[in-house]
Amino acid sequence: MSRPDFWCEITVSAGVQDFPLRGYLASSPRLAVRWLREQASRLADLADPAPSAPWLQCECDAVAGTRAVLQQVSPELPDGPQELRSWRHDWRGQESLMGSLADGGLVRFVSDTGSAVLVFSARPLRTYFADEWRLRELLVPV
């Protein structure tokens, strides 16, 4: 029996629709959780960038405002990017996820941003191939 691969994916739910963002095929539970952790960090930085991020800088007139793309979010809304950043450094939680994956379970981490829900998930893929001789063995009556 071959060891399983692990399918990792990120989906975003906005209202009643789900949209797949990314997927990755990992060869071990550790690589699966590592990919989820890196994607959580990447999405947190995209959703809540530092004002000094180089991609926010423009050669605009200083009076017009170079940071007009940033908006203050209501404090009543959940802080999804901060949840993602906190999860990135939750080593014990990630060890637990690796153990669950190794035992054949599905793992999920959900982050609510107030306007959308991000779901990070991974699951083992077990594929068994039946060779021609095995098929004959299965199909021949005893």
Q: Which residue has the higher pLDDT, 8 or 81?
A: 8
- Residue range 66-106, pLDDT digits in tens: 445 566 666 776 677 888 888 888 999 999 999 999 999 99
Which residue(s) pair with 23 in the sheet? Answer: 9
H/E stretch holding 101: helix 91-102
**Assigned token pair, 116:** 């959308």
**Assigned token pair, 57:** 């800088």
Q: Indicate yes or no: pTM above 0.75.
A: no
The pLDDT, as a whole number, for residue 1 is 47
Q: Which residue has the higher pLDDT, 31 or 139?
A: 31
Distance CA(45)–CA(41), nearest Å, equals 6
Burial of 112 (0-12, 13-18, 19+ CB in 10 A): middle
